Structure 1
Amino acid sequence: MSQILHAVNQRTQLAGRNRMELLLFHMGRSQRYGINVFKVREVIPAPKLSRVPNSHPVARGIAHIRGQTIPVVDLSMAIGGAPLDVEGGGYVIVTEYNRSVQGFLVGGVDRIVNMKWEDVLPPPSQGSGGTYLTAIARLDGQMVQIIDVEKVLAELNAAGGLDPRQIEGGADEALAGADDWHVLVADDSVIARRQVVHTVEDLGLQCTAVRDGQEALELLQTWAEEEGSPLERLLMVISDVEMPRMDGYTLTSRIRDDQRLAGLNVLLHSSLSGVFNEKMVERVGADDFLSKFRSNELAEKLEARLQTVSAG
């Protein structure tokens, strides 16, 4: 376990190379799950949890970790499985998403693996939207399921289970002249994609949404060949950073390398926060970075961009 804890703190150099590292874990059964190491602060043996009265059943309690009180979520229950046996051991993966820190209770932690984003694929289409997977990957002959943690947190927040400040309404009103402009959104999380699209459309902007960077790049390249396509009135590309097949950093670099697309305004939008991401934005040539999810801040970015192009 000490090797895993050490590795979690040493893995930021892969960003921008269309590579990722997954922390593999299980829920007490053979199925393996994964979470992006960049979202992980640390992994600890499951501590004693203090139950909060009237809390959501999935929120198993709170723990005091390094001077901070954080909620601990039973990840098995959160994705529709059986409750984990806290008394039987287990581990807590302490993560930072959307500017909040929370722990996920899991049955056990295995190891960290280095993968190419192009080898991480979107999950099979689910028309009902009920899947908790954001991607899948094959490793050692076994399918690893990468959980859509943002969906888990959004459902808990909506039910009052964690911090309600994480979910906000959309923009208050449409902007003048916004309906002449288009926005392309790339995000592998169903919930995150829906939140971004909701904010964009509330402002009166036209919007197209895709599931990953590869799909976004292919669409932009197709638009570049078509007269009268949305590319001619594309206000902004809003891209998640961590996506299967092609991450947001690589997407930005590919856009900058294509003369037809190089002038596009790119906003990277991620649940990862911190100085590291700001430096990566500069490195790959993105125009801006925004941590998920504050709809009012996203609306401000869109409004400022619209004012810029209108003045020009």
Structure 2
Amino acid sequence: MPNIKVLKNPGYLYDLNYLFYLKFNKELCIESVEKSRRDEAKAYFTHISTLFGDISDDLFVFYHADESGRCFMITYFFDPYKNQFATNFDFTFLKNKLTDVDNLIKGLIRFYFTDFPQERLAECLESREKLFSAIKESSYDNDKKCRLYEFFHSPLPYIQMLQSELIEKEILLTSYYQEHYNLILTAHNNTSIEVLSQSIKGEKDFTFIKDEGKTLFTSYCLLHKYWMKYFFIPEGVIYFLGYDYAAGMHAYLEQIKTPPLENLCAALGEKSRIQILDHLLKMGEATCKDLEKIFDFSGSTAYHHITILSKIGAVKVRNEGKTIFYSVNKPFFDTVRNLLAKYSKN
């Protein structure tokens, strides 16, 4: 079995973003915790929010989650840089990315209008009138529409506020990590490769790491203490683990085996995702770039759909160098069939 190498910065930066995510999605954060621990989680999240102080409501557009639980900042300024997780991904890297104001604004338009075809998306990127018309015609509630109008009417003050508040909270987070780093050390000492290997859906074990000269990384979170997620990266695999991840491991593994029916219906209730699954079934596997070309998706739209399918376990992930291939996870649908069998006549 491979040894585990710890990376500080990825988990630390996720925690920084999670602090803001918690501000705008507290109920969603509580619901993501195993039911038996939700009262504890509610008290914990309240404690963290109080400890780190107020966050401006004006940062709503950056951190409010969509129906799949994604927010803009993590979708555009965290997940896409996974290939840098083991190298230069730190707070300076993030700050530099946020100085590209035009790219940030374009990213927000793409995020809030994920399902737009390329042509209409291009119109919104070029014309404020077209963008405001899109906001008006959208299915968003009035509160979100107002926030989007206000941001896109004068985005620079909001972006400057984001940059400023991230710097302010990062200073506080540094102190918090220094005071509580023993929790990370304890979590690392108790981390089991055998248990981690069970959570890679569709993968047998970690032998590919040894066979291909890869590395198994972990990066721990002190604020998002219940979290567990992994990414395939060029250097191997990186696990993000909240320091209390072990307590939620049973629920995590059960969720993989039997996804909640409401989550399943939400994920598969979109026609585009069924088309993606049909294509993967026919072709065997495909990349995000393949899906963009075949279905005329924007990059963010393809990523959005495949992320939701991956999140519930409907597709498997295979890493080949820097290219990620997706395929149908057939054992998952065996589980779904069994899950639905109780509603059948026999």
TM-score range relative to shorter protein: under 0.3
Query: Structure with the greater relative contact order (CA < 8 A, sep ≥ 6): 1 or 2?
Result: 2
What TM-score results when the alignment is normalised by the length of structure 2? 0.25
Q: Which has the higher helix share?
A: 2
What TM-score results when the alignment is normalised by the length of structure 1? 0.27
